[in-house]
Structure 1
């Protein structure tokens, strides 16, 4: 699907929605100077075109017993497409993996992983790394305190 050209009003709408997707069209309309119906039409177009990929509830991991976060760098044994694809599918299906990036550099993947405790993380490492002959090595950093967590994108500011 082709991305439509976006103007300053689209950017203003997207800025509001990415901070709080429950913001009602009337509130956005008042801020951007459009009617609520015009805002709703634009939001519909942004959803249909894929600019708005998903709308989700952001949950507090600690409140749900997922107290620990890990940054894991993974080096694969081989860089064959079937090996990489198999690992991608494996981590995509694992609920402990919050984010996975295929990267350049010394490692092939960087994962953001959550776990209840160290025992839970050890079980994750066993099934994901030790039981996988295609993983050469991995290194883990334990997040001591999240400083910034989010998925908001910088948007162009209004032109004057």
Structure 2
């Protein structure tokens, strides 16, 4: 990956709707060169996904929660099963398997606290491998996004 790729990634993660001509103008390459580089970055997995960040309130998801989960047993099959369940649950926006005092941290949205309580009953209380969980209700979305700091290599 060279500095042109890094410049493309920086501009593209801020606005994926840029045309290759606009992108080329921003980074100093032709539109066709930008098109080839974007295709290569997608194919190699550097660009994993191109997503829209939607305000959850606009679709009735008025409550955002951060939940930490500690499992009863940390056996590889039980961890794998918990990860699978996390990936399949549409309420969970993000989930991280972490080190430290807890095993997982998840971010999810809900229509209401009552809906979240139903999620807890179905997903956490019903799972015999969940030892403990703690919920943090988000009061304000201060910063939301997936932008990464992309630094240019000094020449």
- Smaller-chain TM-score range? over 0.9
Q: 2:141 aligns with which of 124, 146, 159?
A: 146
Q: How many residues align?
A: 155
> What is the rounded CA distance, in whole Å, between the counterparts of 1:18 and 1:98 in structure 2?
19
Shift of 1:158: 5.9
* Residue 49 of structure 2 is aligned to residue 54 of structure 1: yes
* Residue 109 of structure 2 is aligned to residue 121 of structure 1: no
Task: Report the equivalent of 2:39.
Answer: 44
Task: Report the equivalent of 2:151.
Answer: 156
Shift of 1:159: 3.2
* Residue 74 of structure 2 is aligned to residue 109 of structure 1: no
Q: 2:75 aligns with which of 66, 73, 80?
A: 80
Q: 2:18 aligns with which of 18, 23, 30?
A: 23
Runs of 4 or more consecutive aligned structure 1 residues displaced over 2 Å after TM superposition: 157-160
> What is the rounded CA distance, in whole Å, between the counterparts of 1:78 and 1:114 in structure 2?
27
Q: Which runs of 5+ in 2 are unaligned?
A: none
Task: Report the equivalent of 2:63.
Answer: 68
> What is the rounded CA distance, in whole Å, between the counterparts of 2:150 and 2:71 in structure 1?
35
> What is the rounded CA distance, in whole Å, between the counterparts of 1:147 and 1:134 in structure 2?
33
> What is the rounded CA distance, in whole Å, between the counterparts of 2:54 and 2:60 in structure 1?
11
> If the length of structure 2 is used for normalisation, what is the TM-score?
0.96
> What is the rounded CA distance, in whole Å, between the counterparts of 1:98 and 1:151 in structure 2?
13
> If the length of structure 1 is used for normalisation, what is the TM-score?
0.94
Q: Which runs of 5+ in 1 are unaligned?
A: 1-5
Shift of 1:20: 1.2
Secondary structure of residue in 1 paired with 2:134: strand
